[in-house]
Amino acid sequence: MFTGLSSRLEDVFRRLRSRGKLTEANIRDALREVRLALLEADVNYGVVKDFIERVREKAVGTSVLQSLTPGQQVVKVVHQELMNLMGDSQSKLTLASTPPTIIMLVGLQGSGKTTTAAKLAKRLQREGRRPFLIPADVNRPAAITQLQVLGQQIGVPVWETNPAATPVDICRDALTMARSRGHDVAIIDTAGRLHIDEGMMEELRGLRRALTPHEILFVADSMTGQDAVNVAKTFNEALALDGVILTKLDGDARGGAALSIWTVIGKPIKFVGTGEKIDALEPFHPERIASRILGMGDILSLIERAEEAISVEKAKEIERKLREESFTLADFKEQLQQVRKMGSFDQILSMLPGTGGIKNLQVDEREFVRIEAMINSMTPAERQNPSTIDGSRRRRIAQGSGTQIQDVNRLLKQFAETRKLMKRFMQGGKKGKLGGGRWPLR
């Protein structure tokens, strides 16, 4: 996410911070590089021009140039202006005072509307709401089936759509059912086209007039950059959007759409898709994204992911086992599974401050699968007491997991070192310091 842009900006500001004092010429040269970085990231030209001018006006003031850390002050100005580019603060869904809240998803075909409808339902369900999914795309019968399958996966009811009915009749009947069953949110998956056409827009305008939805959200593929922004502008002119959901943001190294939409159409990004999994939909926080772009990390989002993936009770149980030295390979596998729920290693790393400078780090996610396979090939007694695993057992585990004996040896060695490290850490916590020895980092 934003890796290309983040890398360029970090290089610029690293050089700027290394100077004891700054001149207007220093700032002008730095902003020229920032301008090029934003344009290469496919940010709208007009947005870039206004952004650079606002930063320049603030950065050349006496409060910046005469401060003790002028380089840091410039970064602070850029951080604030990046937040302003994306709407300054989080924009939440507007919920109806009288349920159900009607949310209408619109966008072109292929933007991810159907999957996003299920992801949004899953997120609302985790927040304690009772969503209801309504497939209203009669032009693509596969969309109805797709939403039904996704709804079944997440345990959210889906309206049995009659493809012969009109979208307005489908939605009216579905909303009547949603009210009678006590659902407080209704999510409508509307029809899309490969390109904008008047027939699609008229159908969507008809739905808006008939249903008066509380939220009309435009779903856009962030990978399409300025094309997504231009299409959003057209949809906004026709439907008066309430917000945007950007999909595939985890794969967008540039970030042009995320940095342009708010300024161009004046509508906030409310959610972003951060992966293929059904729970990979997150609220959009401009201040956190700005921090990530500038290499400052995103600890708040990391904590929220950890809280969702790891329960407090399980964390206390693991702490007790570490303290009593009863942490087993079975516990290790369970912890590994919970950490993987938080996202890929690359995503987690991007949320940690100061890791932007780590380039070309290749993490083979399949290694985690191999570790689980090796642990699954062990008997319960072997997982409980790895010291019993001799040469013949290691051969059996390697054969059963499709790995090499060297892989099993490495896993057992790393597990033993991890337990030693955790023992020292627990002892160090009691004494107020970490015990002696080096961290066995690999």
Two tokens, residue 301: 């989002």
Tell whether 284 and 316 lie within a shared domain: no
Asked which of 290, 320, 343 is the last residue of a domain, the reply is: 290
pLDDT of residue 36: 94
Tell whether 244 and 165 lie within a shared domain: yes
Residues 6+ apart with CB under 8 A from 343: 274, 275, 280, 305
Tell whether 165 and 269 lie within a shared domain: yes
Residues in the chain: 442
pLDDT of residue 435: 41
The rounded distance, in Å, linking the Cα atoms of 228 and 222 is 7
Does 36 reside within a domain?
yes
For 136-240, strand residue ranges (E) read: 185-189, 215-221
* CATH number of the structural domain spanning residue 338: 1.10.260.30
The rounded distance, in Å, linking the Cα atoms of 348 and 246 is 20
Q: At what angle do helices 329-341 and 299-309 cross, to 10 degrees?
A: 130
Does 93 reside within a domain?
no
Which ranges of 212-341 does DSSP label H, i.e. alpha helix?
Answer: 226-239, 256-265, 286-293, 299-309, 312-323, 329-341
Please state, as a whole number, how many other Cβ atoms lie within 10 Å of the Cβ of residue 379: 12
The rounded distance, in Å, linking the Cα atoms of 300 and 302 is 5
Does 321 reside within a domain?
yes
Q: At what angle do helices 198-211 and 167-180 cross, to 10 degrees?
A: 30
Q: Quick check: helix, strand or coil at residue 228?
A: helix
Nearest to 249 by CA among 215, 222, 228, 279: 222
Cα dihedral sign, 305-307-313-319:
positive
Tell whether 46 and 68 lie within a shared domain: yes
**Residue with token string 């997120």:** 123
Tell whether 253 and 385 lie within a shared domain: no
Beta bridge partners of 135: 189
Q: Quick check: helix, strand or coil at residue 134?
A: strand
Q: Quick check: helix, strand or coil at residue 135?
A: strand
Does 441 reside within a domain?
no
Nearest to 53 by CA among 32, 79, 67: 32
Does 296 reside within a domain?
no
Do 400 and 406 meet the contact criterion of CB atoms below 8 Å apart?
no
Tell whether 136 and 285 lie within a shared domain: yes
pLDDT of residue 346: 63
pLDDT of residue 297: 58
Asked which of 269, 290, 311 is the last residue of a domain, the reply is: 290
Tell whether 115 and 255 lie within a shared domain: yes
Structural domain range at position 36: 3-85
* CATH number of the structural domain spanning residue 139: 3.40.50.300
pLDDT of residue 434: 41
The rounded distance, in Å, linking the Cα atoms of 3 and 356 is 8
Do 106 and 204 meet the contact criterion of CB atoms below 8 Å apart?
yes
pLDDT per residue, tens digit, the chain (442 aa), is 687 888 888 888 888 888 778 888 888 999 999 999 999 999 999 999 999 999 999 888 777 777 768 888 888 889 999 999 998 888 999 999 999 999 999 999 888 999 999 999 999 999 999 999 999 998 887 889 999 999 999 999 999 988 889 999 999 999 999 999 999 999 999 988 878 888 889 999 999 999 999 999 999 999 888 899 999 999 999 999 999 999 988 877 678 889 999 999 999 999 999 888 898 899 999 988 888 888 765 566 666 666 666 666 776 777 777 677 778 888 888 877 777 776 666 666 666 655 554 444 555 667 888 888 999 999 999 998 898 999 999 999 999 999 999 999 999 988 888 777 776 766 655 544 444 443 333 3
Beta bridge partners of 132: 186
Tell whether 270 and 131 lie within a shared domain: yes
Please state, as a whole number, how many other Cβ atoms lie within 10 Å of the Cβ of residue 293: 25
Nearest to 203 by CA among 272, 160, 140: 140
Tell whether 236 and 318 lie within a shared domain: no
Tell whether 16 and 142 lie within a shared domain: no
Domain tally, the chain: 3
Tell whether 129 and 37 lie within a shared domain: no
Do 69 and 59 meet the contact criterion of CB atoms below 8 Å apart?
no
Asked which of 85, 118, 150 is the last residue of a domain, the reply is: 85
Give one DSSP letter per residue of 22-69, joined into a string: --HHHHHHHHHHHHHHHHHTT--HHHHHHHHHHHHHHHTSHHHHTSS-
Tell whether 176 and 286 lie within a shared domain: yes
Nearest to 130 by CA among 161, 156, 158: 156
* CATH number of the structural domain spanning residue 30: 1.20.120.140
What does the angle CA 367 – CA 368 – CA 373 come to, to the nearest 5 degrees? 95
Does 213 reside within a domain?
yes
Q: Residue 128: phi, psi to the nearest 5?
A: 95, 10
Between strands 281-283 and 269-273, the pairing is antiparallel
> Helix (H) and strand (E) counts for the chain?
20, 7
The rounded distance, in Å, linking the Cα atoms of 267 and 130 is 27
Nearest to 8 by CA among 331, 326, 254, 279: 254
Cα dihedral sign, 384-389-394-400:
negative
Does 132 reside within a domain?
yes
Does 312 reside within a domain?
yes
